[in-house]
Structures are given as C-alpha cells and as structure tokens.
Amino acid sequence: MKIVVCIKRVPDMESRFRITADGKLVDEAGLKFDMSDFDGYAVEVALQLTEKLPQGEVVVVSLGPDAVQEVLRKALSMGAARAIHLKADRVPADGFAVARALAAELQGGGYDLIMFGKHAMDTMSGVVGPMTAELLGLPNVSAASKLDVASGKGTARRELEGGAEIVEFPLPAVVSIDEGIARPRYPSLKGIMAAKKKPLETKPAQLDVARLEVTKTELPADRQGGRIIGEGAAAVPELVRLLQTEAKVL
C-alpha cells in the first residue's frame, strides 16, 4: 500500500494578520508557520493505514518555496518515508494550477491512495483534491470523517448537513480528510532525529499561468459588540425585549 499525502505550509491561524501595503494579500512577514490542520489529520490517517499493513509507505508532497521543507520534515518526523518538494516561488491562489502541477507529479507514481486535508487553512477552498482526482481520472471522496481500506477497496463516511453518507470506492482513489478522524501524533524525538536521514527530493513545480487572482484582502470590520446588558437571571427580561424590538429575531 502506497499512500501520498499532499500537504501545505500555512501561517499559524492564531496570528494577528496584517494586510500588505498594496491591500492585496496577507502580509506573511514575521508570522509562524506550520502544516495546515487538516493536512496533519491526513498524514496521521495515512500513517495509521500503512502501520496496520506489512508493507506500507507514506510519501508526502508539498508545493511552494524552500520553506515548505519544514512541513515536509515534520511529516517525515511523524513517520512518512520520503518527501517531494515541488519548488515554486509562491503557491498560486489558483487551485487549478496547483492541481495540475500535483497531477503531473503524481501521475504514474503507483499510489493506491492520494490524500489531502479537506481544505487549506489559508485559502479555505478545498478544490485542489477533487481537481487532482479529476485530472488523474480517479474516484474522489471529499471530506471523509472515517476511512477504511481493505483489499483494493475503500469505505468512507462523509458528513452532510443533517446526516451523513457511507460510500464505497475502488482504489486507487483520491480522498480528502475532515476533522475528527484522527488526532495527529506529536512528532516523537526519535522521529525528529530519523527525519534528518530520510530522502527529500526537490524538483521544479510545473505551474501554468494562473487565471484566478486575489485582487483584495481585507480584515473584516470589527463587530460593534461588547454591550453587557446585565448580570444573572435578572438580565433576562431586558435581553428578550432587545431580541424582540431591536434585533427582531424573536
């Protein structure tokens, strides 16, 4: 069983974000970065799936500048066997361009499963996984909250609004991972030392011209909150009055 997990390096979402002078992008200078949350879950699921099997290999891929090697190393220290860095000056906002570069790399790689996080924490789009599946002509399951794989077949659960569906699919396939499926392990200290010796291959990403551009990025206006109407149960009548007359939601 050979699994590849596509991971992204994103800023720490607890950061206080600033916008660049031209108003177009988030200013990433001075921010701390890490592997995107859902990608961490995907790495964990991939490791758990292969650990159960006599022969299993987890490969990780990331596209972007040299700094993405940090998250590749992190995945290696969690237990992935090797890493591929698709080098690009920056990650384009156009998810389709990213999907094409990934598909070009993954084509013919002999992977049984190609995994993604359900979306990256910065772009929050979740389009690269399904697009890559389509470009490779593979079955796709988005946002799996459970995943089992046995004898060339996968079973996954997907959360829907007010319910869920259980789907079955043949391998190879593309699966993106939702929260709650597995808690990513802490890179063990031995794992961190071992990661130094694992192969990390760098090659240029094959990126087309992007046809989707970020033209503006804004911080949402602060809510005018902060109005405390009272203390304890005594404040309830006033709250109900405001909900009826001012907010008109009751």
| Amino acid at the residue 59 | V
Q: Which of 53, 67, 150, 214 binds other proteins (CB under 8 A)?
A: 214
Kindly give the pairing relationship between strand 9-11 and strand 173-177. unpaired
Residues 99-118 that bind other proteins (CB under 8 A): 99
* Burial degree of 165 (CB within 10 A; 0-12, 13-18, 19+): exposed
Q: Which of 57, 159, 200, 206 binds other proteins (CB under 8 A)?
A: 159
Task: Give bridge partners of residue 3 from the DSSP assignment.
Answer: 58, 113
* Residue 120 neighbours by CB distance under 10 Å: 24
CB contact burial 203-212 (16+ within 10 A = b; e otherwise):
eebebeeeee
Q: Which of 143, 177, 182, 207 binds other proteins (CB under 8 A)?
A: 143
Q: Which of 54, 163, 197, 245 binds other proteins (CB under 8 A)?
A: 163
Residue 85's nearest CA partner among 206, 205, 209 is 205
Which residue, 55 or 224, has its beta carbon nearer to other proteins? Answer: 224
Which residue, 51 or 55, has its beta carbon nearer to other proteins? Answer: 51
Which residue, 14 or 89, has its beta carbon nearer to other proteins? Answer: 14
Which residue, 93 or 104, has its beta carbon nearer to other proteins? Answer: 93
Nearest approach, Cβ of residue 46 and other proteins (Å)? 19
Q: Which of 3, 5, 6, 38 binds other proteins (CB under 8 A)?
A: 38
Q: Which of 95, 114, 116, 207 binds other proteins (CB under 8 A)?
A: 95
Kindly give the pairing relationship between strand 153-160 and strand 140-150. antiparallel
142 contributes a contact to other proteins by CB under 8 A: yes
150 contributes a contact to other proteins by CB under 8 A: no
Backbone angles phi, psi at 50, to 5 degrees: -80, -30
Is the omega angle on the peptide bond into residue 172 within 30 degrees of 0, that is, cis?
yes
With beta carbons less than 8 A apart as the criterion, state whether 164 and 180 touch. Answer: no
216 contributes a contact to other proteins by CB under 8 A: yes
Which residue, 55 or 233, has its beta carbon nearer to other proteins? Answer: 233
Sole window of 48-56, 105-113, 199-207, 216-224 interacting with other proteins (rule: CB under 8 A):
216-224
Nearest approach, Cβ of residue 202 and other proteins (Å)? 16
Nearest approach, Cβ of residue 173 and other proteins (Å)? 8
* Residues 6+ away with beta carbon under 8 Å from 173: 113, 114, 133, 138, 139, 140, 141, 154
Q: Which residue has the tokens 């699994």?
A: 3
Which residue, 52 or 125, has its beta carbon nearer to other proteins? Answer: 125
With beta carbons less than 8 A apart as the criterion, state whether 157 and 146 touch. Answer: yes
